[in-house]
Structure 1
Amino acid sequence: MSLESPLSCLTGAFTSSRLSLSHFDLDVLSGIAILFGGQAAVSALALQPLYGRIWHGWYNAPGCHAIVWELVRTLLQSSDSQYSERLALSLGIDGKKGPKYVASRSGTVMQHTRHLAYMLINSNWRGKECSPVIVGRRVSPTPMQLMIVDFKKKVLTGDDTLPPRSSKHSFLSIIAVATSIAACAGCARVEDWLSFKMILLGMVSSGITSFIMSTGRITLERLKPADGVPPGDGMLLSDNRIVILRGNEEDVNAVTKGRLRLKLKGGGYTLLLCAFIALSQVTLQLAFMPFGSLPGQIMFLLSLLVSGACNLYLSAKGDDVQSNALITLLNNPEVKTYQASSRASAAVLACLALCWDSDTPPMQVLQDIVPISPRPWKVWSEFVVGNIERKSTHFVWGIDESRNDLEDREEKLLTELVDDAHAAYDQYMKDHDIRIAIYL
């Protein structure tokens, strides 16, 4: 007996009497299925300018009604000159609140920063340093990660903005496109040309919209600081991560205050075209798919199921894709990453990074990270500050009269804090060749 192709077996099974319309009625389901997955469709569309590949998105996908709504809302809520900023907000390319920022030199405190700061503090991006340096050995309930980001190159903004690009998870589009093509072939085999046209319509509609978005340009806009302002050194603070920013005020502002925009050729008219195409897809599929044959409806639903699953996965991984793409806007800063065993170790590293080459008071940095009022912390912080102010090339710990008032449990905590400071201090000196530089 000859072997039949999988497609022949599948379509043959669909046309068998067991799958007759008397047993299955998918008319309603095939019509309303395109209304599911709206938010995932918008999130997947927002990734197109980050991928920059014109072949992405050429698949029959559900949720286009949500895309229509976001594009129309963008047009209604902004003028033609402001659409790019509003579009970035609507698609989620901008708009998330970043963490608290403390500028160590100017003393400026921002309770909330902008989207790029959110990406830095929440992403898995580590720059060229793939493996963080482990600092300290003890097991602490508050381990922290600390990143030192040095802006050695100018962060380009406006029309000079570097194009953000990412390739993470881009293979999923191939799966969705292949499934839609296979669904079209299945409809052609059973001669259901109505379902064939509806699937093809979805592929072309989504493909054109994705193509237009993939040619869009994301730009970074920032406020220019006043002349004579000090360097913008400071730190982004979250519960389990600290990001040290070192560089010119203008470059640091790009992270803390920068706004992202998505510019399309043709401006608002291009948005209107995308909205019309997506609306046409939703309307026609909603009106005509219930009249397709059972095999055609199943093929249609299969294409929606696979493409919807791809959109849902991309939506869940959106921040990961964005971080890998948007951080390239910072023009490849130098990054050093530490995995500190405790908050105390992270505080010492932050002090050294912000205070060693500046006149920033170390105590000011410490009090933003750790509690310095309890007696063990107060004694410990005074020795940390003293070492940094004296530019000691190794951590010096001595006897202090204030230790006589400590209870046993406080003495034990102080001993652990001193070990943390030793580990952080020695590691920082080693990594930055400070010891060698001074002796030479």
Structure 2
Amino acid sequence: MPPESPLSFFTSVSDSPWLSWSHVDLDVASGMAIFFGGQAAVSALALRPLYGRTWHGWYNAPGCHAIVWELVKTLLQGSFSSYSERLALSLGLDGKEGPKYIASRSGTVMQHTRHLAHVLNNSNWRGESVVVGQRISPTPMQLMIVDFKKKVLTGNDTLLPRSSHHSSLPIIATTASIAACAICAIVEDWLSLKMILLGMVSSGITSFIMSTGNITLERLKPADGAPRGDGMLLSDTRIIILRGNEEDVNAVTKGKLRLKLKGGGYTLLLCVFIASLQVTLQLIFMPSGSLAGQLMFLSSLLVSGACNLYLSAKEDDVQSSALITLLNTPEVKTYQASSRATAAVLACLALCWGSTTPPTQVLQEIVPIRPKVWKAWSEFLVENIGKKSKEFVYGESTHDLDDREEKLLLELIDDAHAAYDRYIEDHNI
């Protein structure tokens, strides 16, 4: 018996009774499926300028209505000439709040910082952690010391495209869309083929435009004579020490990210038109396709939607590794402190050693120093830092402590010893 041809195979599948009854349901599904996966589609689009791959996104994908909405909001909220900052916000490249920031030299306190501080605080880019202290505490903390030795990239310095093991994933979705077109041609469903091609071209052009965009960081210029910008970002489980010029630290705490497209706002308007056309035509004409054609259309959406969903899940990791390159490779030292007290000592040494910053100013932001035992401990620490002691030295407490408080004080002194010794050793003091 001769092998069955692909054309007769798909024709027989289309005419099978078990599929015929669902044709009406597929009419509805093929029209409505384009409205699923909107947030994932926006997240995937936001990665295009980070990767800089012009061949990304050439597949029939759901969720274009969400892209249209975000781009329309960008255009309506201001003039074409000022679209770049709003576009970065719409695509999620900017806009998230960072942790509290306290400048140790100027005394400035920011309850909320900007997006780059959020990225730095939540990034896995921290290097190898050095464990400090052996006490088992319910409040361990991680402490990063970030030294800006080079100028942070801002203004005309654009973020260079990056590659990762996720960057080739869109090939799978593109292959699935091409295969769906081929099968539609085999069963001679030219309408479905055109609708899939429309989705590929529409998504591809939009992705191409976004991939050629430039991400830049705008920062505020400090006043002449401003002190160094040393300070710390504080969250529940992490302390990030920033040391460097005020201008570089401002880039992290106050900097605004922008996405500039070639052609400006008019290019953005073109993206809106193309994506709107795709949504409208697919919604109107796709329910008229054959059963096999609708199945291929839905299959292409399923594969590309899964691709977008996966990229969306990896968005934070990809974005953080890319955006941190704007910091121009600062020197980073990471400590895993066994207790909050250990982290407080490390923070004091990082910000107060060699400066006029009072250690008490740093301590009171991290640990309670008013209770008697904590006050006694903080006095020992302040005295050691003030004398530039290379070993942590303590004497008898002048405070009236009971046995329980004395025991806690000894544990805190052990924490201080561990942090003090580690910092002195690491910084060759």
- Write the deviation string for residues 212-264 of structure 1: whole angstroms up to 9, x where unpaired: 00000011111110111110000000001111000000100100111111101
Q: Once the 2 structures are TM-superposed, how far is the Cα of residue 396 of structure 1 from its aligned partner?
A: 1.4
The alignment partner of 1:335 has SS state of strand
1:389 aligns with 2:386: yes
Contact kept, 8 Å, 1:13 with 1:19, in 2: the verdict is: no
Contact kept, 8 Å, 2:158 with 2:214, in 1: the verdict is: no
- Write the deviation string for residues 69-115 of structure 1: whole angstroms up to 9, x where unpaired: 11111111111221111111111111111111100001111111111
Contact kept, 8 Å, 1:164 with 1:328, in 2: the verdict is: no
1:293 aligns with 2:287: no
In 2, the alpha carbon distance for the partners of 1:81 and 1:109 equals 33
Match of 1:268 in 2: 265
Equivalences for residues 41-60 of structure 1 within 5 A: 41-60=41-60
Match of 2:202 in 1: 205
Match of 1:81 in 2: 81
Contact kept, 8 Å, 1:164 with 1:218, in 2: the verdict is: no
Match of 1:72 in 2: 72
Amino acid aligned to 2:19: S
In 2, the alpha carbon distance for the partners of 1:398 and 1:13 equals 92
Contact kept, 8 Å, 1:162 with 1:331, in 2: the verdict is: no
Match of 2:250 in 1: 253
1:225 aligns with 2:222: yes
Q: Which has the larger displacement, 202-211 or 15-24?
A: 15-24
Amino acid aligned to 1:238: S
Amino acid aligned to 1:121: N
In 2, the alpha carbon distance for the partners of 1:138 and 1:297 equals 63
In 2, the alpha carbon distance for the partners of 1:347 and 1:321 equals 31
Match of 2:110 in 1: 110
The alignment partner of 1:20 has SS state of helix
Cα distance change, pair 370–30 in 1 and its aligned pair in 2 (3 A): same
Match of 1:425 in 2: 420
Cα distance change, pair 371–136 in 1 and its aligned pair in 2 (3 A): same
Match of 2:189 in 1: 192
Match of 2:323 in 1: 326
- Write the deviation string for residues 332-361 of structure 1: whole angstroms up to 9, x where unpaired: 111111111111111111111111121111
1:21 aligns with 2:17: no
Q: Which has the larger displacement, 235-244 or 20-29?
A: 20-29
Amino acid aligned to 2:404: R
Contact kept, 8 Å, 1:44 with 1:311, in 2: the verdict is: yes
Cα distance change, pair 10–401 in 1 and its aligned pair in 2 (3 A): farther
Q: Once the 2 structures are TM-superposed, how far is the Cα of residue 427 of structure 1 from its aligned partner?
A: 1.0
The alignment partner of 1:401 has SS state of coil
Q: Once the 2 structures are TM-superposed, how far is the Cα of residue 14 of structure 1 from its aligned partner?
A: 3.3
Percent identity, please: 78
Match of 1:134 in 2: 131
1:346 aligns with 2:353: no
1:311 aligns with 2:308: yes
Contact kept, 8 Å, 1:166 with 1:321, in 2: the verdict is: no
In 2, the alpha carbon distance for the partners of 1:139 and 1:384 equals 21
Q: Once the 2 structures are TM-superposed, how far is the Cα of residue 171 of structure 1 from its aligned partner?
A: 3.0
Contact kept, 8 Å, 2:139 with 2:340, in 1: the verdict is: yes
Equivalences for residues 159-178 of structure 1 within 5 A: 159-163=156-160, 165-167=162-164, 169-178=166-175
Match of 1:120 in 2: 120
Output the aligned Cα RMSD: 1.9
Q: Once the 2 structures are TM-superposed, how far is the Cα of residue 190 of structure 1 from its aligned partner?
A: 2.1
Contact kept, 8 Å, 1:387 with 1:395, in 2: the verdict is: yes
In 1, the alpha carbon distance for the partners of 2:407 and 2:320 equals 41
Match of 2:276 in 1: 279
Residue number among 397, 400, 409 corresponding to 1:414 in the alignment: 409
Q: Which has the larger displacement, 313-322 or 132-141?
A: 313-322
Cα distance change, pair 110–41 in 1 and its aligned pair in 2 (3 A): same
Match of 1:437 in 2: none
Amino acid aligned to 1:414: L
Contact kept, 8 Å, 1:120 with 1:323, in 2: the verdict is: yes
Q: Which has the larger displacement, 364-373 or 13-22?
A: 13-22
Amino acid aligned to 2:14: T
The alignment partner of 2:20 has SS state of coil
Match of 2:90 in 1: 90
Paired residues, number: 428
Q: Once the 2 structures are TM-superposed, how far is the Cα of residue 11 of structure 1 from its aligned partner?
A: 4.0
Cα distance change, pair 385–4 in 1 and its aligned pair in 2 (3 A): farther
The alignment partner of 1:280 has SS state of helix
In 2, the alpha carbon distance for the partners of 1:367 and 1:4 equals 80
Q: Once the 2 structures are TM-superposed, how far is the Cα of residue 23 of structure 1 from its aligned partner?
A: 4.2
